[in-house]
């Protein structure tokens, strides 16, 4: 007896997943797949990574041989043209006619292209396939400016692609009054817009495009309000349309606005034909995420093998990173009072917006929105889905994190076993814990192979890691702290390996101890390690950190940069004050005295940075490292020099300490303070290290910090002389640099340190590990190799080339950086 034949129309992610799901349930079918594209199934979710070095093979969901190895007949570049439901046959473009017992339509969607005059011109693209990306990449070589039509998820992904291609003037055109109108509310959208604008993206809302102008090639967009925007290329990302044309020709029932109508078993109006993914319309809804498509695929596989599984809608919660900005929405994000109670947190300084909606009785979480900081997304989503009772102070879910840091993994371990952790692959908490307990899985790579958790969109990976760690901890197993999937080492382990082997650039470190091409997690970690060891990586090798280090300045609102020269201890001569004033006037910079006792100058154009720093360095200034994870400032009061209460000269000591540790890179930024008496005018106890004068000498405090999670420093040593203070500081800072995880402040590091302050005091003061002399020597080596990064940058011709807004017009400035008056100075104009 011959096997029943299943023909799959479409070889995208969902079509491929159906084959995978069916094979896992049964091998009693003959599977034939027809794909419209010339290549086998690949990952469209991470399509933009094609511009970051990923190849088509990297994005492939399997090897080409996978199909033949599993008995699947694959026909590529051959779309189905006709379905004959009476005879149960299909006919392809290349003339193939085959009979089917069951037909699975996984035709997906196409980009919606609005009917605008000029839409056919050269330089206009859609953003759906690898072939589309290759065309965009080719055009971008000669383009200075580009625009994306559409401010939704795909539109912002396309905008990131243009930025990755080096198009510094990138615009987003959105018809609606806000970005991502289907995922986030107005306040969240405003915060997202602010963050994206600060990164140099130009946002145009409430814009309706009337025409695309130009001869054969696009030259500008003309809007209905008679305004125009000159651009060299345009990417259309204004939504999707279900690919239902084949179903219509076959007489299947389709929705009035598109989509193949299906029931809870994903059957169409013909019970032998199924539809899954973005072409399927279930109860009036098209599901545009990959996870519900995978669920649909599994339901059809279940139905064909006589298992009981149905589709009743799907949670459309999502988390992603858009151009470096976290964006997430979950549960019922748009419900409003009086149907719920809403808790909001908004920090415009850091660009963070959080909103959670809870029931009126305060017992359950209904949904929410996160912008700028979505670390809590996975647990918040689980709290909604599993109806977990909220704590007495539900605001702690978005405000309090110190408890979560101290007890990482405890929350996820309390979830029920049937809690869905990976929605893309329908993997539960129980399955993940079982893989650890019974399968011996100890890391995320092993979990991906064992359960496929984390292989879809990747949003569940932090939660999966917490579950692995929590399960191992419950079993009394050792938990290995690794940097990421590319390095099977902790930061401390990699630090020692790099030092022992004298590795001095990222490629060598990756070749020796890593795998793959690296990622946005491990590159900054390695950069920090190299900087802390050899003191020259940031300016002397290809940049592997963010834009702040790339341009040795903090990018600010409006796309301009800040200039912050070092002013040790806050002491500055009148001549140097005059120089700062002259530079600020010459380049039209806004000036402000900071909380760290130095002077910020804001609004510098990228191409002006080397010119500004030439003048400052000629006047005796040095880089203030305000852009780096390094020593920022050592704040001081006036001390015994002028103050009648001062016990010791705090200014001189602060200058000596700042000059000693300037330029030294660390896992996070470091701040210090020196106070001349217990009145503490330098606020030394809120710093990473604080020195306070006593009648007998100095008290040394460590591991404090201000910011969003203030914590007082703790006393390390009392009544010690200056030489001992420096010795202990050398040991403390070097021990922190060598052992802390990346982006961990000294206060958090101490909180996680086994033994806490007692252990740290033993290591630093009592030298319990016998490392005291070594730590001092390592610190002295860094002190001896100090260099001003800006001095090297302006004297290095290849480095200076970086400081150009337009590569092919290095003297031109960003025409979209605009300013407006404010209190006799200027500020960045609101976009």
Binding residue per annotation — 484? no
Q: 88-92 contacts: CB < 8 A, separation 24 or more? A: 88/272, 90/7, 90/9, 90/34, 92/34
697: left (phi over 0), alpha (psi -120 to 50) or beta: left
Residue 345, strand partner residues: 354
Identify the DSSP state of 717.
E
- Rounded CA-CA distance 548/567 in Å is 20
User: Count of alpha carbons within 13 Å of 451, Cβ hemisphere only?
Assistant: 31
- Rounded CA-CA distance 523/754 in Å is 28
- Rounded CA-CA distance 415/389 in Å is 11
The stretches of 43-178 forming alpha helices (DSSP H) are 56-59, 65-69, 130-140, 153-164
Binding residue per annotation — 681? yes
End-to-end alpha carbon distance in the chain? 69
Binding residue per annotation — 637? yes
User: Count of alpha carbons within 13 Å of 668, Cβ hemisphere only?
Assistant: 17
In whole angstroms, how far apart are CA 106 and each of 9, 152, 237, 274? 6, 24, 21, 9
- Rounded CA-CA distance 170/232 in Å is 10
Check if the beta carbon of residue 162 is closer than 8 Å to that of residue 52: no
CA 618 from chain center: how many Å?
39
φ, ψ of residue 792 to 5 degrees: the values are -65, -40
In whole angstroms, how far apart are CA 78 and each of 33, 60, 146, 236, 583? 10, 19, 33, 26, 65
The two most distant CA atoms of the chain are separated, in Å, by 103
10: left (phi over 0), alpha (psi -120 to 50) or beta: left
Check if the beta carbon of residue 322 is closer than 8 Å to that of residue 160: yes
Distant-in-sequence, close-in-space partners of 144: CB < 8 Å, separation ≥ 6: 167, 168, 169, 232, 806, 808, 809
Check if the beta carbon of residue 144 is closer than 8 Å to that of residue 232: yes
**Annotated binding residues for [4Fe-4S] cluster, as ranges?**
637, 643, 677, 681
**Annotated binding residues, as ranges?**
637, 643, 677, 681
**Annotated binding residues for siroheme, as ranges?**
681
């Amino acid at each position: 007896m011959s096997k029943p034949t299943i023909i799959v129309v479409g070889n995208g992610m969902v079509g491929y997943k159906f084959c995978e799901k069916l094979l896992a349930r049964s091998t009693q079918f003959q599977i034939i797949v027809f794909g419209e594209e010339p290549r086998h199934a690949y990952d469209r979710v991470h399509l933009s990574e094609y511009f970051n070095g990923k190849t088509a093979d990297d994005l492939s969901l399997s090897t080409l041989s996978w199909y033949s190895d599993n008995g699947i007949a694959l026909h590529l570049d051959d779309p189905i043209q006709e379905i004959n439901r009476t005879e149960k046959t299909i006919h392809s473009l290349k003339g193939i006619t085959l009979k089917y017992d069951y037909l699975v339509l996984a035709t997906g969607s196409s980009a919606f292209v609005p009917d605008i005059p000029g839409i056919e011109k050269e330089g206009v693209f859609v953003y759906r396939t690898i072939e589309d990306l290759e065309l965009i990449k080719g055009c971008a070589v000669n383009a200075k400016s580009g625009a994306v039509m559409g401010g939704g998820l795909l539109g912002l992904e396309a905008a990131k692609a243009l930025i990755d291609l080096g198009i510094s003037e990138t615009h987003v055109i959105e018809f609606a009054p806000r970005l991502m109108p289907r995922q986030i509310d107005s306040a969240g959208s405003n915060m997202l817009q602010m963050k994206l604008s600060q990164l140099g993206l130009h946002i145009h809302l409430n814009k309706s495009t009337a025409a695309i102008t130009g001869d054969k090639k696009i030259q500008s967009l003309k809007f209905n309000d008679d305004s125009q925007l000159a651009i060299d290329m345009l990417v259309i990302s204004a939504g999707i349309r279900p690919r239902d044309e084949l179903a219509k020709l076959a007489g299947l029932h389709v929705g009035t606005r598109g989509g193949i109508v299906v029931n809870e078993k994903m059957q169409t109006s013909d019970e032998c034909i199924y539809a899954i993914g973005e072409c399927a319309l279930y109860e009036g809804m098209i599901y545009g995420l990959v996870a519900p498509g995978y669920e649909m695929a599994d339901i059809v596989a279940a139905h064909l093998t006589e298992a009981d599984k149905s589709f009743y809608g799907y949670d459309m919660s999502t988390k992603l990173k858009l151009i470096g900005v976290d964006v997430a929405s979950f549960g019922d994000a748009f419900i409003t009072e009086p149907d719920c109670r809403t808790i909001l947190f908004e920090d415009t300084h850091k660009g963070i917006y959080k909103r959670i909606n809870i029931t009126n009785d305060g017992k359950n979480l209904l949904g929410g929105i996160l912008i700028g900081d979505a670390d809590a997304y996975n647990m918040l989503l689980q709290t909604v889905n599993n109806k977990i009772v909220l704590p007495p102070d539900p605001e702690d879910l978005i405000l309090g994190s110190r408890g979560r840091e101290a007890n990482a993994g405890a929350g996820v371990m309390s979830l029920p076993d049937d809690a869905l952790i990976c929605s893309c692959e329908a993997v539960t908490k129980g399955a993940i814990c079982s893989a650890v307990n019974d399968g011996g899985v100890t890391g995320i790579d092993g979990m991906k192979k064992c359960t496929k958790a984390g292989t879809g969109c990747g949003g569940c990976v932090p939660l999966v890691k917490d579950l692995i760690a929590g399960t191992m901890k419950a079993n009394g197993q050792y938990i290995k702290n690794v940097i990421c999937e590319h390095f099977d080492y902790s930061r401390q382990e990699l630090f020692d390996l790099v030092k022992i082997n004298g590795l001095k650039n990222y490629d060598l470190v990756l070749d020796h101890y890593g795998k793959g091409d690296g990622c946005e997690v491990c590159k900054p970690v390695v950069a920090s390690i190299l900087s802390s060891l050899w003191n020259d990586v940031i300016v002397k090798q290809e940049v592997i950190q963010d834009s702040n280090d790339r341009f040795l300045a903090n990018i600010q609102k409006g796309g301009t940069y800040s200039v912050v020269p070092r002013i040790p201890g806050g002491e500055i001569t009148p001549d140097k004050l005059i120089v700062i004033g002259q530079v600020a006037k010459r380049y039209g910079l806004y000036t402000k005295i900071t909380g760290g006792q130095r002077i910020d100058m804001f609004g510098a154009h990228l191409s002006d940075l080397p010119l500004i720093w030439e003048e400052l360095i000629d006047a005796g200034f040095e880089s203030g490292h305000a852009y780096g994870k390094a020593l920022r400032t050592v704040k001081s009061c006036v001390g015994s020099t002028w103050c009648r209460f001062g016990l010791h000269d705090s200014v001189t000591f602060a200058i000596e300490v700042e000059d000693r540790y300037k330029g030294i890179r660390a896992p996070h930024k470091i701040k210090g303070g020196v106070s001349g008496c217990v009145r503490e005018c330098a606020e030394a106890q809120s710093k990473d290290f604080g020195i306070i004068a006593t009648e007998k000498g100095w008290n040394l405090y460590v591991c404090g910090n201000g910011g969003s999670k203030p914590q007082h420093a703790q006393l390390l040593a009392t009544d010690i002389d200056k030489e001992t203070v420096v010795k202990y500081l050398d040991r403390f800072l070097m021990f922190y640099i060598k052992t802390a995880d990346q982006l961990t402040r000294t206060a958090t590091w101490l909180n996680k340190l086994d033994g806490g302050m007692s252990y740290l005091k033993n290591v630093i003061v009592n030298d319990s590990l016998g490392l005291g002399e070594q730590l001092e020597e390592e610190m002295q080596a860094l002190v001896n190799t100090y260099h001003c990064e800006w001095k090297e940058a302006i004297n290095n011709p290849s480095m200076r080339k970086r400081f150009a807004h337009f590569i092919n017009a290095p003297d031109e400035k960003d025409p979209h950086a605009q300013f407006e008056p404010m209190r006799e100075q200027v500020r960045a104009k609101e976009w």
